[in-house]
Amino acid sequence: MNQRLVSASRLADLLPAPPKTLAGTPFPVHVVDATPLRASTAFADPVLGLYTSGRHRIRRKAGGRLAEGWTDPGTVNITPANVYGTWEADGPSHAIVLFVPDAFLSHVIAEHWEADPRRVEIIPQFLVRDPVIEAVVTRLAVEAQEGSPSGTLYAESACEFLAHHMIQAYSSLSRPPPRPSGGLSAHRIKVVVDYIEENLAKPIALHELAALARVSVRHFERAFRQSLGVPPHTYVLEKRLSAARDLLLSQPTLTIERIAQRVGFSSPSHLASAFRRQMGYSPATFRRTHT
């Protein structure tokens, strides 16, 4: 078993094909066309991984803990430096991998948080949803691919903001979130979530979801938010946008109009508007820059 630390320059050693390494950003950014089906390693710096296309079952064991889930587009992994882990996936996905230099994080922690970096721990994350990381990492990749049209200062500011966000949200300096109470049971949440996944192309009514959970509409809205952290309409919108991103990349000949129909948007302009609000650019631009 090879436990040599992998740096940004050696990421290709883990992949079936070399990644597209993007210049022009303070943090090394790599666009990966096919993630490995198996990998065992530890990274020299903290790593952010954002899945952009392909939905496969993946299992990760890191720090003695085993976790499983689906590589939905938009899901994020955070792997701290020097943490040995193994990954096994049922199929390859597209992803953006970003290395956050440990020295950069240490500088931010010491200067802006007035803490000893040696005592601050980055907490591993597996297949989490983080719109901030998704938007910033995707934007950095687009900037680099287009030759940094917004300039070096934009990329530097985005990287520093990303470092602050990681420390704020995923480090031992983070404040623990309040524990939810009064939410739906795990079984009822699964029933509702499975229904949403299977019916994205159709109108999804709040009263239908409440009926599946066997509670009133008023109680359902509050309990759903407490269980998943977002209201039902936001969750459905995020799932539709995630499905749209997957189709944009996995089916390049499928028109924007057909994609909008398949994931439940009333029109291509409705999809484009929602997509632009979340990602900062249109579905066509997203497809062009990622394929």
pLDDT per residue over 24-72, tens digit each?
788 999 999 999 999 999 999 999 999 998 888 899 998 778 888 889 8
Instruction: For residues 47 and 243, give the distance between their C-alpha atoms in angstroms, rounded to a whole number.
Output: 25
Give the per-residue pLDDT at 58. 94
Average pLDDT over residues 5-23: 88
Q: Whose CA is closest to 262, among 274, 248, 281?
A: 248
Residue with the larger pLDDT of the pair 20 and 280: 20
Instruction: Compute the average pLDDT of residues 147-169.
Output: 84
Residue-level pLDDT at 2: 45
Q: Are 96 and 134 in contact (CB under 8 A)?
A: no
Q: How confident is the model at residue 143, as a pLDDT?
A: 78
User: Which H helix or E strand runs over 218?
Assistant: helix 217-228
H or E element, residue 248: helix 232-250
The residue-averaged pLDDT of 237-252 equals 88
User: CA–CA separation, 100 vs 159, rounded Å?
Assistant: 8
Q: What is the CA radius of gyration of the chain?
A: 20
Torsion of CA 246, 247, 249, 250, to 10 degrees: 100
Structure letter (DSSP) for residue 34:
S
Q: Which two tokens stand for residue 171?
A: 């480090």
CA distance 84 to 96: 20
**Per-residue pLDDT averaged across 247-260, rounded?**
91
- Residue 44 pLDDT: 93
CA distance 45 to 43: 5
Query: Is domain 5-170 given the CATH code 2.60.120.10 in the classification?
Result: yes
Domain ranges of the chain: 5-170, 186-290
Q: pLDDT at position 65, please?
A: 83
Fold designation for 186-290: Arc Repressor Mutant, subunit A (1.10.10)
pLDDT single digits (tens) 77-108 = 999 999 998 999 999 999 999 999 999 999 99
195-226 per-position pLDDT tens digit: 998 999 999 998 999 999 999 888 898 899 88
